[in-house]
Structure 1
Amino acid sequence: MADLLAEFERDGKWLSSTKTTANNKLDLSTKTGHVKKLHFLTASPTKLKKITSPATNNTVVNLSNKQLSNQQVNALAKGLKFALTPRRTTSDMFITNIEKGLQQLAPGGKVDYLRHQICNILYKAQPQKPNITPSEKQAIKQLRQDPDIVIAPADIGKATVVLDKDHFHTMVDNLLDDTATYKKINTDPTTKLNRQHKSTLKILHNKFELCTDLYRKQSVSHPQPPYARATVKIHKNPVKTRLLVCSRDTVFYNTAQHLTQVLSPLGKSANSFINDSTDFCSKIRDISNPGPIISYDVVDLFTNVPREEALQALRHRIDKLQQPLNTSLSTDSIISLTSTCINSTYFTWGDEIYEQIHGLPMGSPLSPILTEIYMTVLEDKVLDTAPFKPTCGSKS
């Protein structure tokens, strides 16, 4: 028995020693990788001037006529996603969800015993300590009840912006009054679009292009219309707003997500695709005759990508694939579903319903990958006819 214990003790020491050595090697490998990346990034003798924006350096930017107290600033500085601890433990939702898995968690008739244990634990649970001071709590209440201000996130960075409500709505209205980009519609098309989309999915299911499980996942039980919210471009002079559209729980959201997953390999197959900063450094490291760096930026990218040309670019990229996409959908079905998703560009702002006239829909999961595909095809056409070829090109 003593020999067995001694053997266990030796094995335990050996395992501990091996684990420590492995961790040290992992730490050394991580540090070495970081040092190499830093060396690549700082290898150029030309140092760029650091450009900072005083507005985005502030956690709270007050653009309103209201004077904020220190407690209000401290509360807002926690960020718009800061979650307050609940005043009491709400066990109703927990119990409702745990009931769904009780049979799997306690097989063999021990469901009542496990339910009793869970209830006992919840009964004895103590309320969490508050994560804000009473003065900050009062400050949040005052800000919520103030009818003259709007609190919105900054477009770039994590700043919280406070504006006069009239000024905020004027900036948003100026955006929506652009008749070349948006127009008002009188009726909510959600019900009609949902009926048409279910019919399309049923046809694909009958043609065995969608399996039963996937077919059910593409439908949304009670779809909601997309809604817009606004962020504030505090880095612009004068300050402007940007509209962002939330498309979760909408008619085409699940289908757009599925198509995005199917089409994701197309976004990484371009010659100019860059994985990360290390990949970028490896591409520019061996340039023997460096020249000037030229950067182009597309204003309002999503709304300026033509839909029909984006669909043509998508078909072009699919036809050029050496390996087929991981889907049972035909190319025509992919194009048809994608067209349906990106041509649904309506959204609500307050009590009004607007439609985006041109470009890809803001907030759709499909818009980023389609933009990447379209810009890649456009880039190839431009570089093929360019009189001067770049030494190295990339997109970000």
Structure 2
Amino acid sequence: MRAAAKELKQVAGVTVRRADKTAAFVLINTEEYNEKLDAILGDLTKFERLTSNPVEDIKREANRTIKAINAATNAIHLPMISGDFRPGYLYSNVKTHKQGNPLRPIISQCPTPTYQLAKRLNAILTPYVPDRYCVASSAKFLERIKDVRGEGVIASMDVESLFTNVPVDETIDLIADRVYRDEKTPELNITEQALRAVLAICTKRAPFTTHCGHVPTEGWRGDGLALGRALCQLLHGSSRGEGLLPSRVPPCLLSLH
């Protein structure tokens, strides 16, 4: 199958992408694919077009913040960023299970200077994720619903492009409240100002490039990408998650997976 997909990529006017949530490949007209991708990037509340490569500036800013954090505490050590880096890249899987076959945008941050830093922050913040609304797997969700009694319905809510719709500033505020003003959470030996700064670098300065077919276009920046999963869990694990529900009647069980 991979060999066939590779061969089909050479066909003019055809883009080969994976189907979302399945191992199948999808053949989509390249013009249609690019139009759908342009529609996603057209939301300038989520994305900003860049005119220069910001990677070296991000690297320097991140290292200044890391150096200050490491000098202030011995409890947590963040590695300095060294080496050559480049912007991440955007690609999309096709949601064949939804009407109109919309795209699921995926932005790989692996080649960026803050990728490893974001992974380290994710590990640091994981103990602060409330488990009231979050489940780690489908198996854990099934365990939870076994304890639910009474009548009702099970509903699944779908969020379009979840990671890019997370309100980053609001979520950083929630993280700060959870870490520094919640008596039930463990102490973190990083100042609030420093944590906010490093979170902002990893979430609000995420450069990437796009591809129309195989031709690189101009660079872009998107919010909340490198720490998308952690931000979602911390946002919806808080009481803010209740605000997603249209009903005034609280549910017996609300879970984010």
Matched, 1:183 2:64: no
What is the SS of the residue equivalent to 1:188?
coil
The letter of the residue matching 2:116 is: N
What is the SS of the residue equivalent to 1:245?
strand
Aligned to 1:192: 57
* Shift in CA distance, 392/193, structure 1 to aligned 2, threshold 3 Å: closer
Aligned to 2:213: none
The Cα shift of 1:282 comes to 4.2
- Measured against aligned partners, the alpha-carbon deviations of 1:298-350 in whole angstroms (never above 9, x if no partner) come to 2222222211110111112112153525x642343222211221111331112
Aligned to 2:237: 376
The count of residues paired between Structure 1 and Structure 2 equals: 249
| Partners of 2:163 and 2:228 within 8 A in 1 | yes
Matched, 1:225 2:87: yes
d(CA) in 1 for partners of 2:241, 2:40: 33
The Cα shift of 1:234 comes to 1.9
Within 5 Å, give how 1:235-246 maps onto structure 2. Answer: 235-246=97-108
What is the SS of the residue equivalent to 1:200?
helix
d(CA) in 2 for partners of 1:209, 1:328: 8
The Cα shift of 1:204 comes to 2.1
Stretch deviating more after TM superposition (244-253 or 386-395): 386-395
**Which residue of 144, 152, 155 maps to 2:20?**
155
- Measured against aligned partners, the alpha-carbon deviations of 1:1-47 in whole angstroms (never above 9, x if no partner) come to xxxxxxxxxxxxxxxxxxxxxxxxxxxxxxxxxxxxxxxxxxxxxxx
The Cα shift of 1:265 comes to 1.4
Aligned to 2:170: 309
TM (norm. structure 2) is 0.83
d(CA) in 2 for partners of 1:181, 1:153: 24
Matched, 1:322 2:187: no
d(CA) in 2 for partners of 1:178, 1:307: 16
The Cα shift of 1:248 comes to 0.9
Matched, 1:285 2:146: yes
* Shift in CA distance, 160/370, structure 1 to aligned 2, threshold 3 Å: same
- The runs of 5 or more residues in structure 2 that have no matched partner are 211-215
d(CA) in 2 for partners of 1:286, 1:164: 48
d(CA) in 2 for partners of 1:182, 1:166: 21
TM (norm. structure 1) is 0.56
The letter of the residue matching 1:244 is: I
**Which residue of 224, 234, 238 maps to 1:360?**
224
More strand by share: 2
| Partners of 1:209 and 1:330 within 8 A in 2 | no
| Partners of 1:220 and 1:250 within 8 A in 2 | no
| Partners of 1:270 and 1:376 within 8 A in 2 | yes
Within 5 Å, give how 1:10-159 maps onto structure 2. Answer: 76=1, 79=2, 142-159=7-24
RMSD: 2.8
* Shift in CA distance, 336/391, structure 1 to aligned 2, threshold 3 Å: same
| Partners of 1:228 and 1:246 within 8 A in 2 | yes
* Shift in CA distance, 199/281, structure 1 to aligned 2, threshold 3 Å: closer
* Shift in CA distance, 378/324, structure 1 to aligned 2, threshold 3 Å: closer
| Partners of 1:259 and 1:334 within 8 A in 2 | no
- The runs of 5 or more residues in structure 1 that have no matched partner are 1-75, 80-135
Looking at CA atoms only, which structure, 1 or 2, has the larger radius of gyration?
1
* Shift in CA distance, 389/171, structure 1 to aligned 2, threshold 3 Å: closer
**Which residue of 311, 316, 338 maps to 2:199?**
338
Aligned to 1:90: none
More helix by share: 1
Relative contact order (alpha carbons < 8 A, sep ≥ 6): 1 or 2 greater? 2
- Measured against aligned partners, the alpha-carbon deviations of 1:246-295 in whole angstroms (never above 9, x if no partner) come to 1113121111111100111122x332333445544443334442222333
d(CA) in 1 for partners of 2:38, 2:28: 15
